[in-house]
Amino acid sequence: MIIDWEAFLHVFVAALVGAVVVVGFYALGLRLLVRGGRPPVVAPAEFTDAITVLTDKQRRRATKAAAKAAAKNPLSEEQKRLSLIAAFACFGVCAAAVLGALLLILFNH
Say whether pTM exceeds 0.75: no
pLDDT of residue 42: 64
Distances (CA, A) of 31 to 8, 83, 92: 34, 9, 15
Q: Alpha helices, DSSP H only, in the chain?
A: 5-35, 56-71, 77-107
For the stretch 30-54, pLDDT in tens is 999 988 888 776 665 666 565 666 6
* Every domain of the chain and the residues it spans: 1-41+75-109
